[in-house]
Structure 1
Amino acid sequence: MKKVNVTVLGAGSFGTALAYSLGNSGHNVKLWMRNEKQYEEMKATKINRKYLPNIMLPHTVDYMLDIEKALANSDIILLAVPTQKVRQLLIKIKPIVKKEQILVNVAKGLEENSHLRISEVIKEALDNHPFAILSGPSHAEEVGKDMPTTLVVAAENKEIAEYVQMVFMTSVVRVYTNPDVIGVELGGALKNVIAFGAGIVDGLGFGDNAKAALMTRGIREIARLGDSMGSNVYTFAGLSGIGDLIVTCTSMHSRNRRAGILIGEGKTLAETLEEIGMVVEGITTTKVAYELAKKRNIDMPITEQIYNVLYNNHDVKESVIKLMSRNKKQEIEEIYEEEKIEW
């Protein structure tokens, strides 16, 4: 396989994990970060002590503070910063990024004020620059330990998707392609909302029955909004839908689930964020999803109740009661909206 030059912008947990995976495959990786203290420590130890401790990066990874030097001669630029920081970063690199350099985004969220997906932000900020979206069930902690992982790459251009697929495939990372950029982005973003709810369920001390119900009805909400925005509903049955939902709702690696647990246990949002110590994408995504649902007149009851807990200080137990007390429905008829099934 041809070795390529990859620049990873952002040395958080997932950016570091992908730098590890790409470097282990022999690719030339430059890992850029803004924090000088983190830079000096990683350069000396090859370990990201704050975000991914106990995992030593290979010699094929270089550490960068100068973003212009970091981007020089790169074939792929990996955007691995929080969603709300992506536009700011794109504006920063616009004068130096070249058209032949492919942007690959791994942030899973929606821009707060504009309600845009990251691919739409890229189009606005960088004038339709070539891009791909990399998503799927992939905890950084497991990628960094070479545990088997599957990802999906979505792009409007098939050749770009297949090129990114080739670069990121390893003996332990399997990558699929998907032309549905909208669906892959929405699945990756909106599952964080449901995972936050799954954490609340755990924090309240409810059992597996409640979590299974939340996940099942949650993926339906995601597909309902996705359908209204032009995605293929079948995408949500794949890695960026059900796959990512399962891993994020059930694992303690998930900061969205961990944050939900703390809220369910009675912590305030401020206390929760302080204890997690990292960006919890699902909190802002809940607000954006709620506003999109209202704008498009889409029924998203789970999202609405989580929004009320986060932004209107609603009691979590009362919110669960409201969900359970909704009008009766027939499940199959609701799933197959285009084809009414009669007994």
Structure 2
Amino acid sequence: MGHDRGEDRGGARPSAPPPAAAAAVPRRVRPHGTRARAPARHRRRSLRPRHDAHLDAATEQRARGAARAPAAAVAQRQAAQPPVRDADGDQAATLPRVRERSRSRDARLRLLGREPAARALRPRRRPRLHRLRPPLVKFLVVGAGSWGTAFTHVLIERGHQVALACHTREQADAIASTGRNPRYLSQVDLSAARAVALADAPGDADVVVVAVPSTAFADVVAALPGSAPVLSLTKGLDPATGERLSTRVRGRGVAVLSGPNMAEEISVGLPTAAVIASEDGFLAGQLQHAINSHVFRAYVNPDLVGVELCAAAKNVIGLAAGAVDGLDLGDNAKAALITRGLVEMARLGDAFGARAETFAGLAGMGDLIVTCWSRLGRNRRAGELISQGASPADAVAQIGQTVEGITTAPVLQELSQRVGVELPITEGVCAVLSGQSIGDLLARLMGRQPTEE
């Protein structure tokens, strides 16, 4: 086997000098099949078969008898190199390094079922400090009702420093001692918040969040310490003047947060979204950066007027939707009521220069839908109770919390009359709150002159 011709392989090997080193042989072995060879003779060593060369790679050149060459000759062979593409004919054979995988489809890897992919390491605990974490903000939340309690929880989860100002000192002491609000959302952990009475509210806050009823909003913001900007969570109008609540904030920046935000769902970590509106775009952006999280997504809207009118008017429509539920008028009637209610809201907003897009966003359609459909909505529940015979005062007492729609309805009606905008649903709600029969009101609304949509 090989290229040497005419040699008697069966004869005795004459004495000869040691063969030359393998690297000095210029010939290359070409791939070919094995040939039949004579069996080894007596007392003769069998010929070592040579392996077939791979079609896509050169093989190491060997001269006859190179396997029995002295160690010095072997050491002079060309060193093996890592595999390369298009190797020349004299390239030495590739010798794998220790623990080196030859290729992804190596037979040994197939037998082992291939190596598993590397898995991402997940920390068992949340890191105490984060090098990319935004700077902490000092928040003062005024109002320890349902919404104030839930929003305090949102700020605590974001890692901010929060002081919760309560209406009474007894409520503040109870929260400070137990870490829970004994009256509203008692399952929420408030141990990380500093609970104080409203009279003892700190004046070094960076932002003051106001979550109090609309009837107390003006007095509360007038007595706030310091000069930090105000973020209003209250949805309504000022009962004394009929103006938007943001106009009652003077001498400091103001922004409004609104959207489909049921406090009970937010308090247990369910996801939601809200919009922050302010005439100061920088303030709105800073608040968005401080509040936004994986479960509380915040958007920015420059239409402060539209967002506030949506927040006030949707509560009145929610009362009417609750009446539809109480009278069991069906989903068709409720859907029609909500749709026409949105038209009323947009009509009023247009009269005050609000953007039409705001009423199709989170503060408009989003908040209106959850107010009218959610079983957690206080305004919807109050309308349901009133339609079943309860007085407005009895409905509020049974719910046990503020029902802004009852306070806002007459103020909204007066505001619409001032600018000459017709609000049939709002006028009907005011009539029922004044003692008119719901049956008569329904007949009057359905009997109005048909018009274009």
Q: TM-score, normalised to structure 2's length? A: 0.69
How far did 1:65 drift? Answer: 1.4
The one of 83, 101, 118 equivalent to 2:245 is: 118
5+ residue gaps, structure 2, are: 1-133
Amino acid at match of 2:202: L
Q: Which moved more, 1:80-89 or 1:39-48?
A: 39-48
How far did 1:24 drift? Answer: 1.2
2:164 is the counterpart of 1:42? no
> Could you say what secondary structure the match of 1:48 adopts?
coil
Identify the residue that residue 215 of structure 2 maps to in structure 1: 84
List structure 1 runs of 4+ shifted beyond 6 angstroms: none
> Could you say what secondary structure the match of 1:20 adopts?
helix
Deviations for 1:273-309, whole angstroms, at most 9, x for unmatched residues?
A: 2111111100111101111111211111111110100
Amino acid at match of 2:218: R
Q: How far apart, in 1, do the equivalents of 2:270 and 2:208 lie?
A: 24
Identify the residue that residue 323 of structure 1 maps to in structure 2: 445
Please tell me whether the aligned partners of residues 150 and 263 of structure 2 are also in contact (alpha carbons under 8 angstroms): yes
Please tell me whether the aligned partners of residues 173 and 196 of structure 2 are also in contact (alpha carbons under 8 angstroms): no
Amino acid at match of 2:276: V
Amino acid at match of 1:50: R
Please tell me whether the aligned partners of residues 293 and 300 of structure 1 are also in contact (alpha carbons under 8 angstroms): yes
The one of 197, 200, 217 equivalent to 1:65 is: 197
Q: Which has the higher strand share?
A: 1
Identify the residue that residue 107 of structure 1 maps to in structure 2: 234
Please tell me whether the aligned partners of residues 10 and 32 of structure 1 are also in contact (alpha carbons under 8 angstroms): yes
Q: Which has the higher helix share?
A: 1
Q: How far apart, in 2, do the equivalents of 1:157 and 1:25 lie?
A: 23
5+ residue gaps, structure 1, are: 332-343
> Could you say what secondary structure the match of 2:212 adopts?
coil
The one of 165, 177, 185 equivalent to 1:52 is: 185
Greater relative contact order (CA < 8 Å, ≥ 6 in sequence) = 1
Structure (1 or 2) with the larger CA radius of gyration: 2
Identify the residue that residue 11 of structure 1 maps to in structure 2: 144
How far did 1:66 drift? Answer: 5.2
Structure-2 change in CA distance of 1:168 and 1:203 (3 Å): same
Please tell me whether the aligned partners of residues 24 and 60 of structure 1 are also in contact (alpha carbons under 8 angstroms): no
Amino acid at match of 1:211: K
Please tell me whether the aligned partners of residues 26 and 60 of structure 1 are also in contact (alpha carbons under 8 angstroms): no
> Could you say what secondary structure the match of 1:152 adopts?
strand
Identify the residue that residue 339 of structure 1 maps to in structure 2: none
Deviations for 1:208-260, whole angstroms, at most 9, x for unmatched residues?
A: 01110110000000110111011112100000000000001011211111100
Q: How far apart, in 2, do the equivalents of 1:22 and 1:28 lie?
A: 8
Amino acid at match of 1:33: C
- Give the total of aligned pairs: 320
> Could you say what secondary structure the match of 2:186 adopts?
strand
Q: Which moved more, 1:38-47 or 1:221-230?
A: 38-47
